Every structure is written in C-alpha cells, then in structure tokens.
Structure 1
C-alpha cells in the first residue's frame, strides 16, 4: 500500500480547514460534528485523526487560518490609498451581512469563541491581535505600532455592528445599522486626525 507524502497531507489538511471554516461560520462551533465537517471536505471520519487531535484542535486551526486570511486582505489593501475605507465599506456591506459562511469569523463566531476551550480562545486571541496590528498599519501607515488599541476599538465597532445587523429581521433597520456604523467610523477617523 502506497503512503501519501507530506505535500498530500498538507493539501488534505488545507481542504479540511477550508471547508470547516465555511461550515463552522454557517452552523456554529457546536452545530456540526466531526462526521459532517469531514464529509464537507469529501473525506471520511477515519482521516480526521491523521490531521487533528480533536475537534477543538480543528476549530482552533480553522479560526487561526480564517484570521490569517483576513490579515492577507488587510495587507493587500495597504497598497491602496483608500484601503481602510474600502475595508470598512466591504465589511459593513449587505453582501457581507448576508454571507456569514463566506465572511469574517469574528462576525459569525465571536460569542461562541468567548465560551469555548482555552485552545480555541488562544488561537482567536493571537489571530485577532494580528488583525488589529494589520488594521492599525492600514489606518496609519506612518505609525502602525501606536494604533493597536485604536484598531481594536474599530474592530469592536465593525464586528458588533455586523452581528447586530445580522440579528435584526427588518431589512431596512438592518441596513441602517450598517450605514450608521460606517458613519460612526468616519466621524471617529475625522476626530482622531484633527
């Protein structure tokens, strides 16, 4: 019987993490078992333990990966003069609101992460602090290290507003939440630049 090489194992792990990211954001951390997560990746339960020690291990790896993807996006936007504005408008868009499984892990899972295992919380904490650093660099390219606290404040507004907009069942009121959050962030930016 031929054994798969390290490259195949990494490709398979990536497939599991990618599909788990979508499923976890759609159904929540406890909404799907290992069997469903592996089926989404086109694999059997037996393959799970070749890649992860536990479901918490998979969740931690998935959240870390999702936040790393967000960091990549922020770094790409840093090359654009209006990158921060584009990020805010994209994050607080109706499209992002209506696509939790394709969007930000914070907007979809933050309340569950807060009640999860220490390993999951550690993975999230490390990832979101990295996101905050990249967001700070996007907000103030000349002084990125001074802006982590400010960036965390903006993340709180972004995530809280997105979650509130998703929870409100009236489409117009939900859209108002998104628009007001954009207005508030713009006002804060104007105040901090003065």
Structure 2
C-alpha cells in the first residue's frame, strides 16, 4: 500500500505540473490562480499544498520540466544540419505560433519569468543553458566558442521572433516575421560568425 501511495502521489504531482504548464503558457503565470490550476488537475486547494509549498515552487517546477522536455526533444534529434532545419521549420511555423499551450515555454513565459521570484529565474537559467548546449551539439563546427555564439544567437532569435509573431494582429505581418526569422536562423545555422573584432592590442 505504501508503494502504491508513493506512486499515486508522484503521478498526481506530475499531472499537476503538466496541466499547469499548459495553463501558464496559455493564460500567463499571473493569470493562472491556484484554484484554476488545481481544478485543471482534478485536485483541491488542500491537495495542492500537499505537493507544493507555494505557487512560486510550482512555477519553478513547471519551468524546469518544460525546458527539460524541450531539451530532451532537441537532444533526441540526429546531430546535423538536417535536424536543425526541421526543428526551425517547426518552431517558426504558424501551427507553433498558434499553439501557446503546447508550444515553447520561453516564447510563452519569458516576459513573466523575468519578473518572477529568484527560484523561478534560477530554474529558467539552468534550463536555458541546457537548451543552448543542446542546440550547440547540432551546430558544432570544431570551434567551441564560435559554436556557442551561434547557438546563443539562434536560441534568442527563435524566442524573440515567435513572441513578435504572436503579438501582432496583422496575420500577414506575423507570417512575414516567421519567414524572415527562418531565413536568418538558417544563416546562423549554416555560416560561421566572422572573426572577432580586434582587441586594440598590437598584432
């Protein structure tokens, strides 16, 4: 019975994290109250506090899990440019743009995460670093520093472009944002950065 209870509690916690992730991404962190979050998971307010000490703890857990899942998906792709191109086409697609609840946690939540408790921001920091590392594996050109720069540029471009495409009310402009971002992202993915600027020291 004890074994079942532990498994049941873990399953309940996992369900809470999964449903809260979709709710946060669709309605925002501030727009999702505990009553709604527990109702989504089929729980009560009292049951919530049996799993999380606060909403901040739930948010941090959700952010960590969402990014962990995203990193796992990128790591599962065969290394190479073909995988990068496929991922970019999906990420910058109208379908992804229109699917807030099921899409990228960064694009959906980044503006709020920046104002969250440090626990949440630390969870995001760890996840974002892991995501950059996962992207770097596909862009590796033998120069670790240059590869990381390209991965950082790609990650930030994708997130910002998707946010912009979701924010505007003009469907044509939104599609143009996505198309331009795809072209620029492919440039980053396929071409190494130019040599670093001179440091001012004599050669």
- TM-score range with shorter-chain normalisation? over 0.9
Structure 2, gaps ≥5 residues long: 195-203
Q: Is the 8 A contact 1:161 1:181 kept in 2?
A: yes
CA distance in 2, matches of 1:31, 1:182: 31
CA distance, structure 1, for counterparts of residue 140 and residue 88 of structure 2:
15
Compute the TM-score of the two structures, normalised by the length of structure 2. 0.88
Q: Which protein has the bigger helix share?
A: 1
Alpha-carbon RMSD across the aligned residues, in angstroms, is 1.9
Q: How many angstroms apart in 2 are the aligned matches of 1:134 and 1:177?
A: 25
Deviation string 1:46-87 (CA, Å, 9 cap, x unpaired) is 111111110000000000000001011101113576111111
> Structure 1: 5+ residue runs without aligned partners?
none
CA contact (8 A) 2:81 2:138 kept: no
Distance 1:8 1:33 in 2: 24
Distance 1:109 1:50 in 2: 26
Q: Counterpart in 2 of 1:119?
A: 119
The structural deviation recorded for 1:134 is 0.5
Range that drifts further, 139-148 or 46-55:
139-148
Give, in angstroms, the shift of residue 186 of structure 1: 1.7
1:159 correspondence with 2:159: yes
Give the secondary-structure state (helix, strand or coil) at the position aligned to 2:192.
Answer: helix
Q: 1:176 to 1:13 in 2, by over 3 A?
A: same
